[in-house]
Structure 1
């Protein structure tokens, strides 16, 4: 008899715990990303980020200058990798066009 009482007590406590978790979730859960990006601080952070690969693909001469500066050690940062990636993509596109005759 006491074994069945223990199981019932455990099941009731689990049910209360789950219900409490669902009820308190809005208070416990972190703020969604959409709300954070609406603030001015997040917008200012985005302008500090390095330029992307698409920018350097469109401005390949600037990417080549930046990579040369990175190799010399005069330029540092996250843009070195993205500029080099853009150069690799543009060179691959040129080789593909020459190979296919387009």
Structure 2
């Protein structure tokens, strides 16, 4: 008899927890408000964020150009570190392939 009561109490507790989670979700994590754009700009905006390491791994020649620009001082910001990290990763992959004979 005691095990049946325990099962019922656990079931009711889980049910109340799930219900309160669905009810309180909008309060805990509100949905972001999106402003409607009436007319899109014909000119594409310049990217404000630095390109990531994955981009530079895929475009290694461009990464080498960015690193050269960083050494000259013509390029600044987060792209320098990302491009240099991508070059290091690609060179490490090439060394690993040569070492393993793949």
Category of TM-score, reference length = shorter chain: 0.5 to 0.7
**Higher helix residue share:** 1
Deviations 1:20-41 (A, max 9, x none): xxx9xx3xx6756xx26x557x
Cα deviation for residue 65 of structure 1 reads 0.6
User: In the superposition, relative to structure 1, how do residues 39 and 81 fare at CA in structure 2: closer, same or farther (>3 Å)?
Assistant: farther
Report the counterpart of residue 48 of structure 1 in structure 2: 48
Distance 1:92 1:39 in 2: 45
Q: Does 1:78 align with 2:78?
A: yes
Question: C-alpha root-mean-square deviation of aligned residues, in Å?
Answer: 3.0
Report the counterpart of residue 57 of structure 1 in structure 2: 57
Cα deviation for residue 79 of structure 1 reads 0.4
Consecutive unaligned residues in structure 2, runs of 5 or more: 1-23, 37-46
Report the counterpart of residue 93 of structure 1 in structure 2: 93
SS class of match (1:48): coil
Cα deviation for residue 49 of structure 1 reads 1.0
Consecutive unaligned residues in structure 1, runs of 5 or more: 1-22, 41-46
Distance 1:64 1:83 in 2: 7
Distance 2:97 2:63 in 1: 21
Cα deviation for residue 48 of structure 1 reads 1.7
| Count of residues in correspondence between the two structures | 72
> TM-score, normalized by length of structure 1?
0.57
